[in-house]
Amino acid sequence: MPLILAIETATLACSVAVFQGEKVIAHRHDIGPSYVHAERLLPFIDDVLRDAGIASKELSAIAVSAGPGSYTGLRIGVATAKGLCHALEIPLIATDTLESLAFQASRMTTRPPDAVVAVLDARRDEVYTATYAPNGSGWTVVEPTRALILEPHVGLDHLFPFAANHSHVVVIGDAAQKTQRLLSSLTDSWSFIEGHPNAMDTCAPATRRFVHREFEDLAYFEPRYLKEFIAGTPRDPLGLRNRAIDSPPSS
């Protein structure tokens, strides 16, 4: 199994993990009041390598969150990941910020949900969101990443059509409380978990992409930003519709 260093800086959380397959070897995660990733990221990387007892030259790849999220956070994370890949001559793997929240929901719930709605705060009544359904060994994207205005009058069927047809739904992310507040009259049976993306939750998709050699071009790779906000119209700007996201194969 590859030995991967993962970086997650798309939100106020600065998170780094080293893992091999589904085993997290070392981890750092901190949420600050502002974006201080430039000061924390490199020390966190040094810390996890030391805690894991490995040298950077032993790494197989670097995984980094590609968004959506904060421009500042994503830029710092991607620049650092690219620099490490260049220096170590190892490949770069892009992970999706919302995708990692689906795996976090699995870790934080006792019963697998019928659907996970991942939500990241944007501004005012707006979120970045995607919806995932379980596929046995991981998650499948059923409503692709999009920018969304949470307007209750639009109706749940239009905002989150897949989740609207299920009762055991988990809404997770740093906009979970905002989503609950704005849609309280529509989502009585749903569960809401306020949280931030965590590097340790990228181990399954990052390992899967390593095995399938889904690497990024260091010269051209950039974080993915979502600009437009519209109420409840599903789009697929990242090309993720119905993509299966599985746990890594066993060694």
Whether residue 113 has a cis bond before it, omega within 30° of 0: no
- Calpha distance 133→139 (Å, rounded): 6
- Calpha distance 174→4 (Å, rounded): 26
pLDDT of 238 reads: 41
52: β partners: none
- Evaluate whether 201 touches 17 at the Cβ level (below 8 Å): no
> Is pLDDT above 80 for 52?
yes
In the three-class reduction of DSSP (H, G, I as helix; E, B as strand; rest coil), residue 118 is classed as: strand
| Chain segment 104-140, per-residue pLDDT in tens | 998 988 888 999 999 999 888 899 999 999 988 789 9
* Amino acid at position 166, single letter: H
pLDDT of 95 reads: 97
Task: Over range 9-37, report the average pLDDT.
Answer: 92
> Is pLDDT above 60 for 249?
no
Task: Over range 10-35, report the average pLDDT.
Answer: 92
Q: How confident is the model at residue 244 (pLDDT cuts 50, 70, 90)?
A: very low
* pTM score, whole prediction: 0.86
Q: Which residues, including other chains, have CB under 8 Å from residue 186's CB and lie 6 or more apart?
A: 152, 155, 156
The answer to whether the Cα torsion of 82, 85, 89, 93 is positive or negative is negative
Domains 3-97+197-226 and 98-194 share a fold: yes
Q: How confident is the model at residue 49 (pLDDT cuts 50, 70, 90)?
A: very high
Which string of b and e fits 58-83 if b means at least 16 CB within 10 Å?
Answer: ebbbbbbbbbbbbeebbebbbebbbe
DSSP state, residue 250: P
Take residue 219 and report the two structure tokens written for it.
């010269």
- Evaluate whether 191 touches 171 at the Cβ level (below 8 Å): yes
pLDDT of 239 reads: 44
Highest-confidence segment of 28-32, 230-234, 236-240, 246-250: 28-32
98-194 is a CATH 3.30.420.40 domain: yes
pLDDT of 227 reads: 58
Which residue is listed with tokens 């399938």?
Answer: 212
Domain ranges in the chain are 3-97+197-226, 98-194
- Calpha distance 207→186 (Å, rounded): 37
The answer to whether the Cα torsion of 80, 84, 85, 91 is positive or negative is negative
Task: Over range 131-158, report the average pLDDT.
Answer: 90
- Evaluate whether 32 touches 62 at the Cβ level (below 8 Å): no
> Is pLDDT above 90 for 175?
yes
Residue among 207, 218, 173, 205 at smallest CA distance from 192: 173
**What fold is seen in the domain 3-97+197-226?**
Nucleotidyltransferase; domain 5 (3.30.420)
Q: Report the run of H or E that residue 46 belongs to, with start and end.
A: helix 37-52
On average, the pLDDT of the chain sits at 88
> Is pLDDT above 80 for 86?
yes
pLDDT of 155 reads: 85
* Beta strands 3-8 and 13-20, pairing class: antiparallel
pLDDT of 201 reads: 96
Q: How confident is the model at residue 145 (pLDDT cuts 50, 70, 90)?
A: very high
pLDDT of 10 reads: 94
